[in-house]
Structure 1
Amino acid sequence: MHKMQLEDEKTWPVKVVAFLERNEELFRNWKTRFKPIDPKEYDKAITHLRAILRDSDYTLQGYHCTRLTEEEIQSILVKGMSLPSAATLRERIENLRQNGLIDSPTANYLLSKNEADDSNRAGMIWFCFFPPRVEGQLGIERFFRSWGGEALYNSHEDDKLSGHMLTKIGTPCLIEAYIPIESLAYHGGLDFKLIAHFLRNRGLKPDNPIEHEDRAQHKIPAENIIRVIRFHEPDFMKLTGCAKWKPVLS
């Protein structure tokens, strides 16, 4: 497993860096328009880079923002992360019911009202490959304030009873993991962001944000989980910047 950090070129595979260096003039000219570039030549280079990146041995360090019970934390550390779906949400809600954290009517209500099987949510685990604080409070706080993920709290935040209840379950957490690049969306844009980082490291100022976020489409195995960082731990506070949030996170 080759463990890459997008912000640290020293962690990139030698093969990736060598390809970027061989094609630096092409990518630089395409970006700056200093010299006309044949689009077919550029597309060919992008396709080649994408193929190199999707080597099964390459992973990218990322963070998943969420809210978890202690039982869920331990399960992720032992079993890894499963893809979200209506079935996995049902299992999680049933575990809450069995552990006495919610009653049966509440469990049934949550099961009847959620977006877990929506096509834009099921089978995807979202990660940001940069410190989450970059997104600011408005960008990440909802993931931490309510249990169950966006597919559940989207349907309950405005409900005074169930919405409030979801804010009392679990603990805000960051899951830090190495995500296999081959599991990311093929057209997710990682190749373009990598080129932008590469050119920035060589003096070309980006004209667009180069932070990358993407969705994993395969289960994340336990051996790829680096750690689960809980609210109040120093690294959680540092990575999220939540100490300055108003209202405060709890």
Structure 2
Amino acid sequence: MNPELAPVVDVDDSSTWPDQLAHRVHELAEQRQGLIDDPAEFGCSDLDLWERDAEVRQLLDGYLLRGYHATRLLAHETDNIRAHGLRLFDAKLGTARLDTAVEHGYLTTDEHATLIQGMALTSNRVGQICLFLSKTTLTEDAEGLNLLLAAWGGEAIYMPHVHTDNPINTKLRSIGIPSIVVALLDLRASPTTTAFPGVANVFIGASLGLSSLTVDVFYRAPIAPAHIERIIHPGDVEYPQHQGLPQT
């Protein structure tokens, strides 16, 4: 990793938390300790911490926050992300992915036409990159990640087709490889980024030892190649052998 980058904060590793953040998170966690009978049955989404989110995000100012983007990639797309980073999704990017898939022989021109016509450019998909902040999501919410990893193209491309029994569905599930892109997020570069149920929830949940730390981040800035740490595929040590995750 580039040694000139800001320090990296990892939700799953409290030793990386800045002192001020760690102190405040542990303080807030103590206030909620009595509400939790069993950490294994209590998720960070159950913590009512919206009013603390801005405070916790401010304590991350000057740091990079490690996140994970789940998708399915063709070989040339993996190389492209390493070289150029992650772009915000829009019609141009969706079309470019389909065009290059044809150029590399993954799609026919007829399949390309069908996918272009059906591309779902809805407001909840355009202009953002979707990530999660804790590796616990890979096992605790594997079902929620399954389709992202099992079908190529991203939701805007595959969603109109994957719940039907047709050749396009079969094709999208047969090309590419499940991929977890590990990226470093600068929340200052994307002040309109949102997180559900909140950045505060995931840190305080981690401090409380909750087993489920699933928080979805909708990041609204491109991620530069210097902020791409690695890309994990099945067979790598970090990719779980979990029955809910596709292995091919």
TM-score normalised to structure 2 length = 0.79
Alignment of 1:37-116 (within 5 A): 47-53=54-60, 55=61, 57-115=62-120
Residue 127 of structure 2 is matched in structure 1 by 123
How far off is 1:192 after superposition? 3.1
| Partner Cα distance (2:214, 2:169) in 1 | 31
| Partner Cα distance (1:20, 1:99) in 2 | 48
1:109-166 Cα shifts (integer Å, max 9, x gaps): 1000021x20011112111222243234422211121110111111111151111111
Residue 203 of structure 2 is matched in structure 1 by 194
Alignment of 1:201-212 (within 5 A): 209-212=212-215
Aligned counterpart for 2:185 among listed residues 179, 185, 190: 179
Residue 38 of structure 1 is matched in structure 2 by none
| Partner Cα distance (2:124, 2:53) in 1 | 26
1:160-204 Cα shifts (integer Å, max 9, x gaps): 111111112211111112122333724641023323333x26xxx
Please say which structure displays the higher CA radius of gyration. Answer: 1
Which amino acid counterpart does residue 177 of structure 2 have in structure 1?
T
> Which blocks of at least 5 consecutive residues in structure 2 are unaligned?
1-5, 36-48
Identity of aligned residues (%): 23
Q: Which has the higher contact order (CA 8 A, sep 6+)?
A: 2
| Partner Cα distance (1:192, 1:146) in 2 | 30
| Partner Cα distance (1:144, 1:44) in 2 | 33
Which amino acid counterpart does residue 162 of structure 1 have in structure 2?
I
> Which blocks of at least 5 consecutive residues in structure 1 are unaligned?
34-41
Residue 175 of structure 2 is matched in structure 1 by 169
Compared with structure 1, are the counterparts of its residues 101 and 49 closer, same or farther at alpha carbon in structure 2 (3 Å cutoff)? closer
| Partner Cα distance (1:227, 1:169) in 2 | 21
- Contact preservation (8 Å) 1:63, 1:174: yes
Aligned counterpart for 1:141 among listed residues 124, 146, 154: 146
- Contact preservation (8 Å) 1:146, 1:166: yes
TM-score normalised to structure 1 length = 0.78
- Greater helix content: 1
1:86-114 Cα shifts (integer Å, max 9, x gaps): 11000110111222222222111100002
Compared with structure 1, are the counterparts of its residues 18 and 112 closer, same or farther at alpha carbon in structure 2 (3 Å cutoff)? same
- Contact preservation (8 Å) 1:2, 1:13: no
Aligned counterpart for 2:157 among listed residues 152, 159, 172: 152
| Partner Cα distance (1:65, 1:166) in 2 | 16
- Contact preservation (8 Å) 2:85, 2:223: yes
- Contact preservation (8 Å) 1:90, 1:111: yes
Which amino acid counterpart does residue 119 of structure 1 have in structure 2?
S
Residue 39 of structure 1 is matched in structure 2 by none
- Contact preservation (8 Å) 2:71, 2:152: yes
- Contact preservation (8 Å) 2:232, 2:238: yes
How far off is 1:30 after superposition? 6.3
| Partner Cα distance (2:224, 2:232) in 1 | 17
